[in-house]
Structure 1
Amino acid sequence: MPIIEVNMFEGRTSQQKREMISAVTQAVAQTLDVPETNVRIIIRELSKDNFGIGGKTAFELGR
């Protein structure tokens, strides 16, 4: 059973996340030749204040 973890900044809409889950599920199922029902997707949404790049937060860098 493939388990895919996606880390991304918060702020995407529920519709965008649904579409991403669908597309990734299809790609993994096809590539690994497994049923789509066996694919798991975990989304972890990160605050830009909780992500550092080069000693600054992503928020500070305007990411």
Structure 2
Amino acid sequence: MPFIQITMIAGRTEEQKRALLAAVSQATTDSIGAPPETVRAWIVEVPPTDIAVAGDTHADRRARADQS
């Protein structure tokens, strides 16, 4: 039984998350032959203030980009 955790920055729509979970589940079935009913996938959303790239939070990077 495959368990797939997707960790990403919060902010996607419910529709986008639903599509991602469906695509990942299908890809798992296609690639390793796992029966669809055995595939478990979930999303962990992280606030942009809690993710850093090169020491800058994603929120800060986004704010700077919005000012440009």
Q: Please, what TM-score do these two structures have when normalized by structure 1?
A: 0.91
Report the AA paired with residue 61 of structure 1.
Answer: R
For residues 23 and 42 of structure 1, what CA distance do their matches in structure 2 show?
12
Give the 4+ runs in structure 1 shifted more than 3 A: none
- How many Å apart are 1:21 and its aligned residue? 0.8
Counterpart of 1:11 in structure 2 is: 11
Alignment size in residue pairs: 63
Q: Which has the larger radius of gyration?
A: 2
For residues 34 and 54 of structure 1, what CA distance do their matches in structure 2 show?
38
For residues 15 and 61 of structure 2, what CA distance do their matches in structure 1 show?
27
Counterpart of 1:46 in structure 2 is: 46
**CA-to-aligned-CA distance 1:3-23 (integer Å, 9 cap, x gap):** 111111111111111111111
The unaligned stretches of length 5 or more in structure 1 are none
Q: CA RMSD in A?
A: 1.3
Q: Identity, % of aligned pairs?
A: 33
Report the AA paired with residue 50 of structure 1.
Answer: D
Q: Which has the higher helix share?
A: 2
The unaligned stretches of length 5 or more in structure 2 are none
For residues 61 and 17 of structure 2, what CA distance do their matches in structure 1 show?
24
